[in-house]
Amino acid sequence: MIMDEELDAYRLSGEKVRVVRDGLESNDVVGIVLAWDDEQVLIRRQNRRVVKLARSYTYQPFGEPRHNPIDLG
């Protein structure tokens, strides 16, 4: 699970993040961090739609190569 400090750093910088939900890259969500609570993170996508995602997903900077969660497990 991603730490509050990491989420706050992403929010303050306005950096795009990639949320890796499973093994398929097409299911990733890319956007900026808006807010969070103990269980969910609010991400604004490029099309300005807002999505709630679980904190248990993998959050990484968009500029880095994608990390497959299946390889990490």
- Structure confidence by residue, pLDDT tens digits, 3-50: 999 999 999 999 999 999 998 999 999 999 999 999 999 999 999 999
> What does the pLDDT read at residue 31?
98
- pLDDT band of residue 72 (cuts 50, 70, 90) is low
State the maximum Cα–Cα separation within the chain, in Å, rounded to a whole number. Answer: 32
- List all residues 6 or more positions away from 63 whose beta carbon is below 8 Å from its beta carbon: 16
> What does the pLDDT read at residue 73?
52
> What does the pLDDT read at residue 68?
81
| Nearest alpha carbon to residue 22 among 57, 63, 61 | 57
